[in-house]
Amino acid sequence: MDELYWQKKETWPETAATSIDYPEEPLFDMLDRSARKSGDLPYTVFMGKSQTFKEVKEHSDRVANFLASKGIKEGDSVAIFLPNVPHFPAIFFGILKTGAKVVTCNPMYKAGELNYQLNDTESKIVFVLDHPTFTPTAYEAIKGTNVHTVVVCSVKSFLSKAKAVIGGLLGKVPKSPYYEEDKTLFYEDILTEYEPTPPQVNINPRDTAVLIYTGGTTGTPKGAELSHYNLTSNVLQIAEWVYLKEEDVEREGGVRYGDEVYVGAIPWYHSYGLTLSMLSATWFAGQLVAIPDPRAGKPPLSDLLKDLEKTKCTVFNCVPALYAGIANHPNVGKYDLSEISICGSGAAPLPPEVAKAFEAVTGAILFEGYGLTETSPVTHINPTSKKYRKFGSIGIPVSDTICKIVDMETGKKELPVGEVGEIAIHGPQVFSGYWRKAEETENVMREFGGKRFFLTGDVGHMDENGYTFISDRKKQMINVGGMKAYPREIEDIFFTHPKVEMAAAVGIPRDDDPSNEFVKAYIKLKEGETATPEEFIEWARDKMAGYKRPKEVKIVDALPMSSVGKVLRRVLLEEELKERGK
């Protein structure tokens, strides 16, 4: 069978090259190049104030000089514990300019979760938002790690003078309740005290640039090693795919250099937001609008709608839950969203009704794609035209990407078109492996025809035109509004509770959106102990990020077990759905 048969069908986008010439260069070259070519164009936008490409490039050089002065060098790791704020790009590229790896950390993590990541990567410095919660969490998390410096980043300097003064007077500018002076430096001081002279380093583009943590196929947190080349390739693959038709949306053509406005509502610590918003905006000299909390405002999402209108957003990548929230917002008709053109959906299945409702209020075109942290992330995208877009499908493999369906038992046998099996991916965007986990890397890699394929853990099939359909998840992750919660990680945390003998976690489909789930935990108590579900829900509040915390807890006498002693989560879910009449 021709392993690229979909490229020969009429559904392959006529403007998309089947293969692209990817540059072998460090990831930070995209910032430096845009600063040289378009230095005076606005880059980061936050609360109405913007920075140019030239300014952000200079800030990244100062950050790199600072890090080098602190001993950071090639092979080291530096962590970013920040939401989407304007500091993020300069810090990200500044770290890379030292030859070190960026470790992106979920700002919703509790201290124990962050501590694990800092320890596992042997990070030496962490950048954190000046905030009543985030900063103290970082101080607690660095205990017992190699971190010797915490760089505190305030948003005050990125506000207009009027907003900064008013915010300070009203106490609305976030600020930590305390600072540990022996470990703390402030981002503003780095920009004033260090020259914009980064160290001279010789970067191999195939080396790891970013460590992004994922549960992979097992749910155990591990760092996916994404190289400079992986991420650069994926930016170009995505842009190559996008071409708009006048009959679908009121513009013709692909991504426009220097003209696009990317609204960053998806977190940049995650591969989805990092590649499709931050890196893509950097490569194409677009504006990058920083949205720390897309659900802010009354009613929720109101602040995001204001930013979409004010910034004249043109590129908007999101999860289905946010698209649905915008389309159903009671005041959406009051906002002019007509500039929005290019919209990608990922992280969860896209209901056709959501896409149609969002398009009706914006005039944009919304197309579903697919990817994983391990693939930088994008591997599939639906054609960006209404004629060939296929709802229910994740689309067609993008340029230079080969998708195979393999048997679920061994992953070594390729299955014919139409048969259901595990999805396997080969391409320039596929990661090198999991950080210091050679065995787990080997478990998810297979070779076909001399090419290295990644076993995604997702189950599906491909049709005669290459459209791929996901039917199930081999890995038992829980999709909470596009965020991935892994049962094993949740269970491991519950096992630390002194009253818990056994624990299991499953994802329960929400009544209003079956593609979206919430966590339910089942707990067997130790003999002689008593507890209530509410007690565990409250206990979990300080132990795990909000999306991982169970919405419901059930105390049980026993958990269903397999013959080898594994908890049968599938049985729990089946029983739960039966009780709920689903």
pLDDT in tens, 106-116: 999 999 999 99
pLDDT band at 165, cuts 50/70/90? very low
Q: pTM for the whole thing?
A: 0.87
Q: What is the pLDDT of residue 409?
A: 86
Whether a cis peptide bond, with omega within 30° of 0, leads into 299 is yes
Q: Is the pLDDT of residue 149 over 90?
A: yes
Q: What is the pLDDT of residue 562?
A: 61
| Torsion angle of the four alpha carbons 532, 537, 538, 544, in this order, in degrees rounded to the nearest 10 | 150
Q: Is the pLDDT of residue 161 over 70?
A: no
Q: What is the pLDDT of residue 495?
A: 82
User: Which percentage of the chain shows pLDDT scores above 90?
Assistant: 79
pLDDT band at 167, cuts 50/70/90? low
Q: What is the pLDDT of residue 138?
A: 98
Give the pLDDT mean for 387-391. Answer: 95
Which has the higher per-residue pLDDT, 286 or 501? 286
3 state DSSP class of 345: strand
Give the pLDDT mean for 254-270. Answer: 96
Which has the higher per-residue pLDDT, 328 or 276? 276
Q: Which of 241, 267, 268, 265 is nearest to 255 (CA)?
A: 241
Give the pLDDT mean for 25-53. Answer: 97
pLDDT band at 57, cuts 50/70/90? very high
Please give the mean pLDDT across all residues of the chain.
93
Cα distances (angstroms) measured from residue 41 to each of 37, 157, 168, 264, 326: 9, 20, 29, 18, 29
Q: What is the pLDDT of residue 169?
A: 45
Q: For domain 478-579, give its CATH number from 3.40.50.280, 2.40.50.100, 3.40.50.720, 3.30.300.30.
A: 3.30.300.30
Q: What is the pLDDT of residue 41?
A: 98
Q: Is the pLDDT of residue 472 over 80?
A: no
Q: What is the pLDDT of residue 160?
A: 65
User: Which percentage of the chain shows pLDDT scores above 70?
Assistant: 96
Task: Return phi, psi of residue 5, to 5°.
Answer: -60, -30
Q: Is the pLDDT of residue 163 over 70?
A: no
Q: Is the pLDDT of residue 168 over 90?
A: no
pLDDT band at 425, cuts 50/70/90? very high
Angstrom distance (rounded) from CA 456 to CA 403: 10
Q: What is the pLDDT of residue 554?
A: 96
Question: In this structure, which long-range contacts are made by residues 134-140, counting pairs with CB atoms below 8 Å and at least 24 apart in sequence?
Answer: 134/81, 134/82, 134/107, 134/176, 135/176, 135/179, 136/176, 136/177, 136/178, 137/81, 137/109, 137/110, 137/111, 138/81, 138/114, 139/180, 139/183, 140/111, 140/115
pLDDT band at 485, cuts 50/70/90? confident
Domain ranges of the chain: 50-204, 478-579
Q: What is the pLDDT of residue 9?
A: 95
Q: Is the pLDDT of residue 520 over 90?
A: yes
Q: Is the pLDDT of residue 460 over 50?
A: yes
Q: What is the pLDDT of residue 293?
A: 92
Domain 50-204 is found in CATH 3.40.50.12780: yes
pLDDT in tens, 209-245: 999 998 765 667 899 999 999 999 999 999 999 999 9
Q: Is the pLDDT of residue 564 over 80?
A: no
Q: Is the pLDDT of residue 257 over 70?
A: yes
Angstrom distance (rounded) from CA 265 to CA 295: 9
Q: What is the pLDDT of residue 491?
A: 87
Highest mean pLDDT among 132-141, 154-163, 515-524: 132-141
pLDDT band at 557, cuts 50/70/90? very high
